[in-house]
Amino acid sequence: MALCLNMHAGEQVKSPDGRLVVDFDLAKGGIPTYCATFAGEQIVKPSHMGFILADSTKLDRNFAVTATSRGSEDDTWTPVWGENSTIRNHYNSLTVDMAQPRHGIKMNIEFRVYDDGFAFRYIFPEQTRKYLVIDAEKSQFAMADDNTAWWIPGDYDTQEYEYIKSKISEIPAFANTKFQENASATLLDPLGVQTSLMLKTPSGKYLNIHEAKLIDFPAMHLSVDGPALTFTSALTPGIDGHMATIATPFETPWRVVMTGDKATDILATNIIYNLNDPCALDDTSWIHPTKFMGIWWGMITGANSWAYTDAHDFDLATFDYSKAKPNGRHLANNEDVRRYIDFAAENGMDQLLVEGWNIGWEDWFGKGKDYVFDFQTPYPDFDIKALNDYAHSKGIKLMMHHETSGSPANYERFMDDAYDLMNRYGYDAVKSGYVGNILPAGSHHYDQRMVRHYLDAVKRAADKHIMVDAHEAVRPTGLARTYPNLVGNESAMGQEYQHMSMQHCTILPFTRLKGGPMDFTPGIFEMDLDKTAPGNTTDKKATIANQLGLYMTMYSPLQMAADTPENYAKRMDAFQFIKDVPLDWSISKYIDAEPGEFIVVARKDKNSENWYAGGVNAEEPRNVDLALDFLEPGVKYEATIYADGKKADAITNPHDYKISHRKVTAGDTIKLRMARGGGFAIEFKKL
Ligand code: NOJ
Ligand code: CA
């Protein structure tokens, strides 16, 4: 009997533990409709489903159910890297086959209900219509309450925003104020939000709306009907003005609502990965967690340049760099790269990212040019063979950098050659990027064509045993389960924004990280940026202990130590944690958290018996009584505690930290204080 749908013949599917219940029925007029109840509380009110096609065919009504089937699954899989060494995939499912006799179209909806969330997708089986051109998706998420939301605005080209906390009903009021000043924004109109969207109900339950397995389809934003408290899927338009062209048979990405009694349940759920396909690669032995430094922060802060000269507006094809005057700020040069290699190799890094190694950076930005880079020709002061040989002789690798400057066609043109060059010189990881407007004009970063491009780049890289970390690409939706060489993405405001709010890092694990790891670039040790780049007046709003805590709270198999060797050399005792922290875990336990306030997590190293813990904090200084009951009982551990100093404060005293040592057991509690913008990191070495 339907619980939240007031209908006679509905279908119901419950989570394995019975606490999450999803009802489906056709409403009057044959409208596919679902609703959901969690722990006895309605969380999603009756919500409509379907599509509108370009020829005006309405696939959101006039359906008849032709069959229903049920299933369940309970298995455990082993990720190549991750927060846990095994993941349980446990759900009940319902598939409703439907037909729309008038247009001869068949469309099925599959639901999967887990203990920690539910999902649905549309399946177009083999049918007479071979192509469907979609103009709108009409999946609603009608919230039962005016929940608190942590959101960033719906934008077809970037997620690089700070989060806003407001009630759902308040979101539309931001439309004419907040974001208009950003001239390059391609915002949903009227203002909507992006996923993953973090929500909290008035009764204290946590929800999160996202999508999983985004393949061959545009990314989904959510439009907001404030008074009705209803979100509706809003797809990213393609250059032809349509949202998507699909060939039947076709399965859409999953639309997912995560559920939790506690905030930490949302951090812990693996539902997004579970909704993706198992690993598609036969051999994954070449994929490995990677800790790296970079020829990078100097450019981001403004001390150095990607470009070799200060010349502009020349023809790249005929320009003779060997005769050009160097600008003296080009950091990707033989001498500095060697110096960085030495430091990285001596300090346990696996790789050194080098940006600005290839010609074209003089005019890379904002020119709307298709051909900017060939990803193969080094600047005259970067000896690609000698530097790779030198790095290898020291036991590390260089990391490749491909900035596409928003020109996917140009990247596709050179991609195989560029990957071959990597194979030739011994690179096995590439950081790619998509800065600028996507060409041709009118395309968007999150449209169907670009979603195909990003995955194609990952698959072609896998063929050549190359790991990918793509910046400015579409936010991840769990595809790293299937293609674990996708070891990172940016797809959010990262530390390259040198001054973010203190809340930001306490929200990202609830939102951006649900789809996959982020190349956030933690580990800034000199918060007074003027010291790194004279004239840079921004100060980072974080303490040193906060920067260490990020290695624990922002899970990624790819972690940067983003600051410069000079800045680390001043604080080698704190840098020790960055050297020691593992990037791959057998167990992760989220201990306590609240979005926008703080996160505390403990994790067990996959390759040893050691545990690690860490926390990050936003603006309210906070005491943490860390009960060590996650440790193995009866065993002694040597704890090395990296904490905020007594006077630490992200704004007034960011460099105050204290390192202490203690012998502890599972019965102990460590008392910590996280400063404003602070944090902590602890290593527990089994004795
Ligand atoms: C933006 C990326 O996020 C940043 O890390 C990179 O250095 C620049 N693009 C240049 O590619
Ligand atoms: Ca970026």
Look up the CATH number of the domain holding residue 350.
3.20.20.70
Dihedral sign for Cα atoms in the order 370, 371, 374, 375: negative
Q: How far apart, in Å, are the Cα atoms of 20 and each of 90, 121, 190, 604?
A: 13, 18, 32, 30
Q: Give the pLDDT confidence score for residue 532 in this predicted structure.
A: 97
User: Which of 471, 519, 524 has most ligand 1 atoms within 8 Å of CB, for mutation?
Assistant: 471
Query: Which pLDDT belongs to residue 678?
Result: 98
Phi, then psi, of 41 in degrees rounded to 5: -110, 130
Query: Ligand nearest 431 Cα, by number?
Result: 1
CA-angle at 541, arms to 537 and 546, nearest 5°: 140
CA distances from 63 to 131, 277, 572 (A): 19, 29, 66
Contact yes or no for 210/515 (Cβ under 8 A): yes
Q: Which atom of ligand 1 is nearest to the CA of 490?
A: 3
**pLDDT score of 67 more than 50:** yes
3-class DSSP assignment, residue 399: strand
pLDDT at 2 (0 to 100)? 47
Q: Give percent of the chain above pLDDT 90.
A: 94
267 and 298, same domain (yes or no):
no
Q: How far is the CA of 159 from the centre of ligand 1 (A)?
A: 14
What was the pLDDT predicted at 1? 40
Do 515 and 461 have their domain in common? yes
**Assigned token pair, 471:** 């910046």
**By percentage, how much of the chain surpasses pLDDT 70?**
98
- The verdict on 179 and 308 lying in the same domain is no
CB atoms within 10 A of CB 393: 10
Chain centroid offset of residue 223 CA: 21
Residue at 61 is within a domain: yes
Give dist(CA 49, CA 501) in Å, integer.
37
Global model pTM greater than 0.95: yes
pLDDT of residue 370: 79
Ligand lying nearest the CA atom of residue 361: 1
Q: Whose CA is nearest to atom 5 of ligand 1?
A: 496
Average per-residue pLDDT in the chain? 96
**What confidence tier does 180 reach under pLDDT thresholds 50, 70, 90?**
low
Is 305 found in the same domain as 261? no
Q: Whose CA is nearest to atom 11 of ligand 1?
A: 403
Give the per-residue pLDDT at 7: 54
236 and 378: one domain? Answer: no
Binning pLDDT at 50, 70 and 90, where does residue 512 land?
very high
Cβ atoms of 232 and 140 closer than 8 Å: yes
Ligand 1 pocket, mutate which of 355, 434, 524 (most atoms under 8 A from CB): 355
Round to whole Å and give the CA distance between 545 and 600: 13
The whole-number pLDDT of residue 366 equals 74
- Specify if 201 maps to a domain: yes
Closest ligand 1 atom to 403 CA: 11
Ligand closest to 492 (CA) is: 2
Predicted local distance difference test score (pLDDT) of residue 367: 75
Longest dimension (CA), the chain: 81
Name every residue whose Cβ is closer than 8 Å to that of residue 525 and which is 6 or more positions away in sequence: 544, 547, 563, 567, 568, 570, 571, 574, 575, 655
Which residue's CA is the closest to the ligand 1 atom numbered 3? Answer: 471
Question: Given pLDDT bands bounded at 50, 70 and 90, which one contains residue 4?
Answer: low
Residue 475 lies in a domain: yes
- The residue among 512, 516, 574, 515 whose CA lies nearest residue 543 is 574
Same domain, 244 and 297: no
Residue 411 backbone dihedrals phi, psi, to 5 degrees? -65, -45
Q: What's the number of domains the chain is made of?
A: 2
**In 3D, which of 322, 334, 347 has the Cα closest to residue 389?**
334
Say how many Å lie between the CA of residue 22 and the centre of ligand 1.
Answer: 43
Same-domain status, 214 and 343: no
Cα 384 to ligand 2 centroid, rounded to whole Å: 25
Instruction: Name the domain boundary from 563, 583, 603.
Output: 583
For range 607-621, the mean pLDDT: 98
Q: Among 686, 682, 636, which Cα is nearest to 661's? A: 682
3-state SS record for 556-610: CCEEECCCCHHHHHCCHHHHHHHHHCCCCEEEEEEEEEECCCEEEEEEEECCCCC
> Of 82, 92, 141, which is closest to residue 268 (Cα–Cα)?
82
Find all residues with CB under 8 Å of 180, minimum gap 6, and list them: none
Residue 327 DSSP SS3: coil
Q: Which residues are catalytic?
A: 496
Collapsing DSSP to helix, strand or coil, 118 comes out as: strand
d(CA 118, CA 543): 38
Q: What is the pLDDT of residue 279?
A: 98
User: Could you say which of 583, 604, 638 is where a domain stops?
Assistant: 583
Q: Is residue 513 part of a domain?
A: yes
Residues 482 and 465: their CA atoms lie apart, in Å, by 15
> Judging by beta carbons within 10 Å of its beta carbon (0-12, 13-18, 19+), is residue 177 exposed, middle or buried?
exposed
Torsion of CA 219, 220, 223, 224, to 10 degrees: -130
List own/partner pairs for 453-461 with CB under 8 A and 24 or more apart: 453/408, 453/411, 453/412, 455/215, 455/479, 455/483, 456/412, 457/411, 457/415, 457/432, 458/483, 458/485, 458/486, 459/483, 460/415, 460/416, 460/419, 461/419, 461/430, 461/485
Q: What are the strands of the beta sheet with 558-560, ordered from one edge?
A: 486-489, 467-471, 429-433, 397-403, 351-354, 290-295, 558-560
Q: How many whole angstroms separate alpha carbon 74 and alpha carbon 86?
A: 13
Q: Which atom of ligand 1 is nearest to the CA of 472?
A: 3
Same-domain status, 249 and 308 = no
In the reported structure, the alpha carbon of residue 433 is separated from the centroid of ligand 1 by a whole-number distance in angstroms of 6
Cα–ligand 1 centroid distance for 587 (angstroms): 32
Residues 645-687 have pLDDT tens digits of 999 999 999 999 999 999 999 999 999 999 999 999 999 999 9
Tell me what pLDDT residue 6 has: 62
Q: Which two tokens stand for residue 350?
A: 């696996």
> Are β-strands 105-114 and 220-225 bridged in parallel, bridged antiparallel, or unpaired?
unpaired
CATH code of the domain covering residue 119 = 2.70.98.10
Give the ligand whose atoms come closest to the C-alpha of residue 299.
1
From the CA of 306, give the closest atom in ligand 1: 10
Residue 176's pLDDT is what? 72
Ligand 1, pocket-test mutation among 435, 445, 512, most atoms within 8 A of CB: 435
Asked if 53 and 143 sit in the same domain, the reply is yes
Does the residue 687 lie in any domain? no
Residue 413 lies in a domain: yes
Is residue 294 within 8 Å of residue 560, measured between CB atoms? Answer: yes
Q: What is the pLDDT of residue 8?
A: 52
Residue 21 falls within a domain, yes or no?
yes
CA of 441 to the centre of ligand 1 (A): 21
Per-residue model confidence as pLDDT tens digits over 306-341 = 999 999 989 888 999 999 999 999 999 999 999 999
How far is ligand 1, taken at its centre, from the CA of residue 470, in Å? 10
- Residue 440, preceding peptide bond in cis (omega within 30° of 0): yes
pLDDT beyond 80 at 601? yes
Q: From the alpha carbon of 401, which atom of ligand 1 is closest?
A: 11
Same domain, 231 and 323: no
Q: 397 and 492: one domain?
A: yes
pLDDT-derived band at 101 (thresholds 50, 70, 90) equals confident
CA dihedral 628, 631, 632, 634 (to 10 degrees): -30
Where in the sequence is the domain holding 157, given as residue range(s)? 11-274
Closest CA relative to residue 227, chosen from 312, 142, 318, 320: 142
Ligand 1 pocket at CB < 6 A: 296, 355, 403, 433, 435, 471, 490, 496
Residue 595 lies in a domain: no
- pLDDT tens digit sequence for 5-23: 665 568 999 999 999 999 9
Among 523, 553, 583, which residue terminates a domain?
583
Q: Are 201 and 309 in a shared domain?
A: no
**Residues 241-267 pLDDT 10s:** 999 999 999 999 999 999 999 999 999
* Local structure of residue 162 (DSSP, 8 states): -
